[in-house]
């Protein structure tokens, strides 16, 4: 996931910037169920768009597409995530 998300601490065969890709099902219910809106492995992202913007490494291209898409499409993407 790139240097931005690295904690510099390898675990087993995973390097410091490799993370388990989490399922996104139910992510729209995070606040209802967990009473917070923090995302990523250490909770650093204060919302869904911020979580996407932290993507790097193998996910860099996907992040770039989100950054470059029309604002309306980005808003629809976030609405989709919130619907999961
Ligand atoms: C536009 C496409 C994508 C969207 C909307 C998206 C969305 C998200 C969101 C919302 C999270 C936070 C999940 C949570 O905290 O429970 C997340 C985490 C993550 N995503 Fe993506 N993602 C996308 C593309 C990708 C791609 C292409 C990869 C891998 C090549 C990837 C790998 C990961 C990983 C490993 C995490 C966990 C990182 C961590 O906890 O620090 N994602 N993604």
Write down the residue that tokens 């932290």 correspond to: 54
Please report the sign of the dihedral spanned by the C-alpha atoms of residue 67, residue 73, residue 75, residue 81. Answer: negative
Ligand 1 and 39: CB distance under 6 A: yes
Ligand 1 and 17: CB distance under 6 A: no
Query: What's the pLDDT at 83?
Result: 98
Q: What value, to the nearest 5°, has the Cα angle with vertex 36 and ends 34 and 40?
A: 95
Taking only the tens of pLDDT, the chain with its 84 residues reads: 999 999 999 999 999 999 999 999 999 999 999 999 999 999 999 999 999 999 999 999 999 999 999 999 999 999 999 999
Q: Are 67 and 53 in contact (CB under 8 A)?
A: yes
pTM: 0.96
Ligand 1 and 22: CB distance under 6 A: yes
């Amino acid at each position: 996931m790139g240097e931005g998300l690295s904690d510099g601490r390898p675990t087993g065969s995973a390097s410091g910037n490799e993370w388990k890709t989490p399922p996104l099902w139910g992510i729209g219910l995070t606040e209802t169920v967990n009473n917070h809106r923090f995302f990523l492995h250490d909770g650093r992202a204060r919302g869904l768009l911020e979580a996407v913007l932290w993507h790097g490494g193998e996910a860099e291209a996907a992040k770039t597409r989100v950054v470059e898409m029309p604002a309306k499409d980005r808003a629809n993407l976030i609405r989709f995530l919130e619907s999961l």
